[in-house]
Amino acid sequence: MLSRFAGGIDTGGREELDSLTLWPALALLLIGLVMVYSSSIATAEASRFTGNQPSYFLIRHSVFLAVGLVTGVMAFQIPLRLWQQAAPWLFLAGVVLLILVLVPFIGRSVNGAQRWIGLGPINLQPSELMKVFAVLYAADYTARKLDDMASFRKGFVPMAIVMVLVGGLLLREPDFGAFVVVVAIAVGILFLGGINARLFGGLMIVMAIAFVILIWSSPYRRERIFGFMDPWQDAYGKGYQLSHALIAFGRGEWFGVGLGASVEKLFYLPEAHTDFLLAVIAEELGFVGVALVVGLFALLVHRCFAIGRQALVLDRVYAGLVAQGVGIWLGVQGFINMGVNMGLLPTKGLTLPLMSFGGSGIMANCLALGILLRVDWENRQLMRGQQV
């Protein structure tokens, strides 16, 4: 089954799937599994919550990965026309989940943020699913409104109202990182769909002002900005996470200190297996390891846009925008996480796609990859039919 899904079947000299899309994605998932285990051993062994089991996070992440891969394979079986028909309803379901997570006794709060819905032994994070639903819905909206993209009232306002609603719910959790990613997805797809250039330029200015207001109006966001600008000024306070991430990068040098030999993961670097996984990779595998991860992400994002461009050439507008929307999502979220780890961006609670620990994130990523590969597969079938 895996060989077939990986393009093992060749028809007429052509692969069934794009190996330059599938293998980098699988490589990132497997590297993530190894690094989640390496970065979480000490934390798991010292925590009573995990039963002092060193392999606690490895086992859970393995289960998440298995469920995610099954989800991706199932998503691959569904034609894009059915995804397009379901897009508004899936988006509505995502909004309902974002509302439910804010309801007392339904949503779970961790470290002051209420972002999870408890489902027995697992926690569902609706904001992760909303990223997938935002791609599907924004692509459907843009495909239906192609003739109105130059109109402020018909093309922009309806999507803006929807994004304000979703953004308000995300900021109530609060989940500013997910808010940035969802807005980037929606705006990016509108831009690719041909939104009026003046309108897009004005939108960028308004968004920049809005982001500044959101940051300045929130004391903890202001502190993160100031801590990011000079983490060493308060290395035990506002700059604690970033200063230890930078130490990890410095210790790694070219080839790292060796897999499993990180010091920063030993209770110095918070969230080492989630938000700051790249810092552990940098320390243990060095510049070479980080370059490999960045290269795999760059290749995957490139293939998203290439598959989308091919779909657009074949006059499959919705499919093309979905593929490129997935590329925007992975590219923006990956860039923000890497930037935070390297001290190029303020500290923000966003995981590294396909790699960081987290069931909802892995499932959403695999779901998106399954849909992306479906776009590629349908492109190939259509091209083969035209040649015949």
DSSP readout, 312-370? HHTT-HHHHHHHHHHHHHHHHHHHHHHHHHHTSS-----PPTTTSS-HHHHHHHHHHHH
In Å, what is the CA distance from 149 to each residue of 36, 48, 203? 43, 55, 14
Along the chain (388 residues), what's the average pLDDT of each consecutive run of 10 residues? 37 68 97 96 85 90 96 96 96 95 84 79 89 96 86 81 88 87 92 80 77 72 67 73 91 94 89 92 97 97 97 95 97 95 84 93 97 96 77
Cα separation, 147 vs 57, whole angstroms: 49
pLDDT of res. 253: 93
pLDDT of res. 221: 66
pLDDT of res. 350: 87
pLDDT of res. 6: 40
Helix (H, G, I), strand (E, B) or coil at 114: strand
pLDDT of res. 388: 52
Helix (H, G, I), strand (E, B) or coil at 198: helix
pLDDT of res. 63: 95
pLDDT of res. 208: 78
Cα separation, 293 vs 280, whole angstroms: 12
pLDDT of res. 8: 37
